Structure 1
């Protein structure tokens, strides 16, 4: 038997918080996390508060989506 694919719509919202650009990702009513631009790097913040330093914004977004699919998706 094959599994049916689930399509999940992810919303990306950018805003300024304390002078830093913050991108929040949400899926339906679940918060996937935040990406914070910090000089020449980015910080991916999971809803649990765990933080990861990465080099690119795409890497941070991928990390948040991967965590969502592994633990809550």
Structure 2
């Protein structure tokens, strides 16, 4: 039998931290990572402390979600 697809709500919230724009990525009520600009690139950080360089905010979001799904329970 095939598994039924499960809908997961991902929320991206724009905030300011240290006068720098940050995007917080959440699934449900849990913040799983953040994306922040650094020069002409972006740094995507997951909740476990690992960071990745991304060319765009969209790529940063993909990296955060991939890392979360790779290491979730």
Mapped partners of 2:3, 2:68: distance in 1:
19
Question: What residue in structure 2 maps to residue 20 of structure 1?
Answer: 20
- Spell out structure 1 runs of 4+ moving beyond 3 A: none
State the number of aligned residues: 73
TM-score (norm 2): 0.90
Q: CA RMSD for the aligned pairs?
A: 1.3
Unaligned runs of 5+ in 1: none
Aligned to 2:65: 65
**Alignment partner, residue 5 of structure 1:** 5
Moved more, 62-71 or 1-10: 62-71
SS in 1 for 2:70: helix
